[in-house]
Amino acid sequence: MLRQVSAALAVAALVGTTGAVSAQAAPTTPTVSARQGAAAAADPCDAGRNARGWNWTTRLCRTANWMGRVYAHAPNARLTDMLLPGTHDSGAYAIRDRAPCAPQVIAGAGAQFVAAAQQNPCAAAALAKAQDRDLGQQLRNGVRYLDIRVGVPADEVIPAPEPPAPDPLAVPLVMQHNYVSAPLATGLRQTLRFATQHPREVVILDFQHIDLTEDPAINAYYQKALIGVLRQLLVGSESICSRAWTPASVGATAHGVGTKVPIRRAWRTDRNILVLMDSALPARSCYYDRDLALVSPWPNTDVPAVSKKDNDGYLAERGQRLSSGRCTDADGAYWCGLFVNQLQLTPSVSRYVGCIWQNTGDPCSLAGLAALVNDRVAGYMTRWTKQGEPTNINIVDFYERSAPDIVDRMIHLNRMRID
Contact 225, 171 (CB under 8 A): yes
Local structure of 145: helix, strand or coil? strand
Q: Rounded to an integer, what distance in angstroms lies between the CA atom of residue 165 and that of residue 234?
A: 17
Q: Rounded to an integer, what distance in angstroms lies between the CA atom of residue 308 and that of residue 344?
A: 10
Local structure of 349: helix, strand or coil? helix
Instruction: Quote the pLDDT of residue 55.
Output: 46
Instruction: Quote the pLDDT of residue 283.
Output: 84
pTM as predicted: 0.90
Q: Which is the CATH superfamily of the domain at 2-20+54-418?
A: Phosphatidylinositol (PI) phosphodiesterase (3.20.20.190)
Instruction: Quote the pLDDT of residue 30.
Output: 43
H/E stretch holding 67 reads helix 66-71
Tell which phi-psi region holds residue 32, choosing left (phi > 0), alpha (psi between -120 and 50) or beta: beta
Q: Rounded to an integer, what distance in angstroms lies between the CA atom of residue 301 and that of residue 348?
A: 7
Contact 81, 388 (CB under 8 A): no
HSE on the CB side for 187, CA within 13 Å?
A: 26
Other CB atoms within 10 Å distance of the CB of residue 17: 9
Q: Rounded to an integer, what distance in angstroms lies between the CA atom of residue 335 and that of residue 294?
A: 7
Going by the DSSP 8-state scheme, the letter that residue 33 receives in this structure is: -
Instruction: Quote the pLDDT of residue 28.
Output: 41
H/E stretch holding 370 reads helix 366-386
CA 172 to chain centroid, in Å, comes to 21
Q: Rounded to an integer, what distance in angstroms lies between the CA atom of residue 370 and that of residue 196?
A: 32
The parts of the chain modelled with pLDDT lower than 50 are: 3-19, 22, 24-32, 38-57, 60-61
Q: Rounded to an integer, what distance in angstroms lies between the CA atom of residue 86 and that of residue 147?
A: 8
For CA atoms 336, 340, 345, 346, the dihedral sign is negative
Burial level of 47, CB count in 10 A (0-12/13-18/19+)?
A: exposed
- Residue 222: partners with Cβ closer than 8 Å, 6 or more residues away: 152, 171, 173, 210, 212
Going by the DSSP 8-state scheme, the letter that residue 283 receives in this structure is: P
Contact 264, 272 (CB under 8 A): no
Task: Name which of 289, 298, 148 is nearest 209 in CA terms.
Answer: 148
Helices vs. strands in the chain: H and E counts, helices first: 17, 10
Tell which phi-psi region holds residue 324, choosing left (phi > 0), alpha (psi between -120 and 50) or beta: alpha
Instruction: Quote the pLDDT of residue 282.
Output: 86
- Residue 129: partners with Cβ closer than 8 Å, 6 or more residues away: 92, 93, 95, 97, 177, 181, 365, 366, 367
The number of residues in the chain equals 419
Instruction: Quote the pLDDT of residue 59.
Output: 53
